[in-house]
A and B are shown apart, each in its own frame.
Chain A
Amino acid sequence: AQKITQTQPGMFVQEKEAVTLDCTYDTSDQSYGLFWYKQPSSGEMIFLIYQGSYDEQNATEGRYSLNFQKARKSANLVISASQLGDSAMYFCAMREGWGDYKLSFGAGTTVTVRA
């Protein structure tokens, strides 16, 4: 079964608007972590934000925030005030268990920011 599901293959957003990228996950572990990475056309994976399963508050990093809904097993990324440089592929990923940090990735969502 897919551990990470990203249902939006591509999205367009107007510059300065906010965009929400969906991510649902599947795990039976109590301890897990959720990540979002950005991959521009140049190919490097850039870490954006992390949410641990025991964190009570939603994670925020600058213009990025993670909307963590544990009961629904969702971890959506919100990018506020979109910029042209935000155009990229975005991946949701998960680590499971204690001490095991290998990541399972979703298929990604392509975001295109329009001027």
Chain B
Amino acid sequence: DTGVSQDPRHKITKRGQNVTFRCDPISEHNRLYWYRQTLGQGPEFLTYFQNEAQLEKSRLLSDRFSAERPKGSFSTLEIQRTEQGDSAMYLCASSSAPGTASSYEQYFGPGTRLTVT
């Protein structure tokens, strides 16, 4: 078990460019979550998937943000027309299906740090 992985770990982009991040959850986990963490703050929920279905999106997820999990395995988070306010750490987490042992526990990846210049 290699844990949750995220790629890239760091991304520097210019304002107005599009960026895409990838998250690979723990293989047997069917729930996948995206959070955003700005400097000095706690993570904020963005969206989550159960298998390939996106079940909830936060109001923080503007129209410029889109997330997919096409085959219920890895997920991508795309930000279009990036703004300086998008600079943050983007964290991915996964958990097992509700009702299974320790399903409440979310395992976090190392994050992707985005800097928009």
A interface residues with partner B (beta carbon < 8 Å) = 4, 33, 35, 37, 42-47, 50, 52, 91, 93, 95, 98-108
Contact = CB atoms under 8 A, between A and B. Distances in A.
Q: Which 6 A-B pairs have the closest CB atoms?
A: A105-B42, A45-B108, A99-B98, A102-B45, A91-B42, A105-B43
Interface in B77-95: 89, 91, 93, 95
Looking at chain B, what size class is its interface with the partner chain?
A: 20 to 34
Interface in B25-48: 31, 33, 35, 40-45, 48
B42 A93 contact: yes
30 contacts: A4-B42, A33-B104, A35-B104, A43-B110, A44-B108, A44-B111, A45-B43, A45-B91, A46-B108, A47-B105, A50-B104, A50-B105, A52-B104, A91-B42, A91-B43, A95-B104, A100-B56, A101-B33, A101-B104, A102-B33, A102-B45, A102-B48, A102-B56, A103-B35, A103-B43, A103-B45, A104-B45, A105-B42, A106-B42, A107-B42
Interface of B: 31, 33, 35, 40-45, 48, 56, 89, 91, 93, 95, 98, 103-111, 113
